[in-house]
Structure 1
């Protein structure tokens, strides 16, 4: 069962993540936003409700498809979703990115 601190930490992380996304989109033009990408979509999930862990998993999934020693992935955040509650006390967060493999 989740405690008040667990919920507060999750909401703080969610707010920080959303703020960062809003600030990044308000910051002006970025090269990644201007390029259409190559349409590859990757997802990462955290069973602990950790947005950074889910984002890192999505980026690692994209990196796994890149070849060579100097692998690069240019990614764009697409969505954030999750599941909370139920008998099992779920705290799942999923991040979806679109990535261009360079």
Structure 2
């Protein structure tokens, strides 16, 4: 069963656009090279917070992604944003688009 990881982050400094650009060049390739990767997205939920949404083939792969993300944030971005909460869960409904959404930022 596919699994999703949802991580809520607090923005500590800089703008969401800067953070999204950093995720695009750092986190995207890291996740794309990971076993079980299905999809990844980032969305600003308010002025001071954003979420990272990723989908994986298994719960274990989603858990591994959470560890990889934590290591990447620690090494690259802990002064810009910090993890508030991480959620991993099995998908009950998983309907997606075959075409990626254009980046808004």
Higher relative contact order (CA 8 A, sep 6+): 2
Please give the TM-score of this superposition, normalised by the length of structure 1.
0.30
